[in-house]
């Protein structure tokens, strides 16, 4: 594992260079307790030189533990950037450090107000409490259809006795 994303330009051939690997999430230098990386940054990058400029495109991904701004519970989220792109005019140095570019793109992509129901599958207890209160006010005490569907699924899971 490379400590940083330091690219030696002589590694890059005419048809470019594809790089995949991991760098420690410590390069992000995150001090906000809302965002806690739980693994390394994984990258898959295509590097190239065109004239006097160096460019890199590709994807970055990283797992986080985030704190929901509504219910304050921790939840996991994978951050994935598929359109990482940077370009740099070459002025002499034989190496390019991609670390600051990777860091900046990831920090910009972090959700400003993390919500634990971001994936549409989880239910935020905080948001659900607000929602059910609204529902009760507008619909009375009717039972949501999803509730009975859940019981049907449970009934189908009845454990069979051993033969
Ligand atoms: Zn929540």
Taking the C-alpha atoms of residue 100 and residue 147, their distance in angstroms, rounded to an integer, is 48
Cα-to-centroid distance, 108 and ligand 1 (Å)? 22
Taking the C-alpha atoms of residue 153 and residue 105, their distance in angstroms, rounded to an integer, is 43
Cα-to-centroid distance, 14 and ligand 1 (Å)? 49
Cα-to-centroid distance, 137 and ligand 1 (Å)? 22
Cα-to-centroid distance, 65 and ligand 1 (Å)? 13
Q: How much is the average pLDDT of 58-80?
A: 94
3-state class (DSSP) for residue 12: coil
**In angstroms, how far is CA 138 from the centroid of its own chain?**
37
What's residue 118's pLDDT? Answer: 87
Cα-to-centroid distance, 144 and ligand 1 (Å)? 21
- Residue 70 banded pLDDT, cuts 50, 70, 90: very high
At residue 1, does pLDDT exceed 50? no
Residue 23: other Cβ atoms inside 10 A: 22
Cα-to-centroid distance, 70 and ligand 1 (Å)? 5
Beta strands (DSSP E) in the chain are 6-8, 17-23, 35-37, 41-50, 53-67, 74-89, 95-97
Look at residues 16, 19, 117, 24 and name the one whose alpha carbon lies nearest to residue 68: 117
Cα-to-centroid distance, 114 and ligand 1 (Å)? 8
Cα-to-centroid distance, 51 and ligand 1 (Å)? 49
Taking the C-alpha atoms of residue 124 and residue 69, their distance in angstroms, rounded to an integer, is 10
Q: How much is the average pLDDT of 44-72?
A: 94
């Amino acid at each position: 594992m490379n400590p940083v994303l330091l690219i030696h330009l002589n590694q890059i051939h005419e048809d470019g260079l594809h790089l995949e690997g991991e760098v420690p999430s410590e390069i992000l230098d995150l001090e906000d307790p809302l965002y806690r990386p739980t693994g390394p940054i994984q990258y898959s990058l295509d590097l190239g030189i065109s004239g006097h400029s160096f460019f890199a495109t590709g994807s970055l991904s990283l797992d986080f533990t985030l704190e929901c701004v509504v219910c304050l519970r921790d939840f996991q989220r994978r951050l994935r950037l598929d359109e990482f792109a940077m370009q740099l005019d070459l002025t002499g140095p034989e190496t390019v450090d991609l670390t600051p570019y990777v860091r900046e793109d990831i920090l910009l992509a972090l959700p400003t107000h993390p919500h634990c129901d971001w994936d549409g599958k989880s239910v935020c207890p905080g948001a659900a409490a607000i929602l059910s209160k609204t529902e009760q006010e507008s619909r009375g005490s009717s039972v949501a259809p999803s509730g009975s569907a859940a019981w049907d699924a449970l009934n189908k899971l009845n454990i069979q006795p051993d033969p």
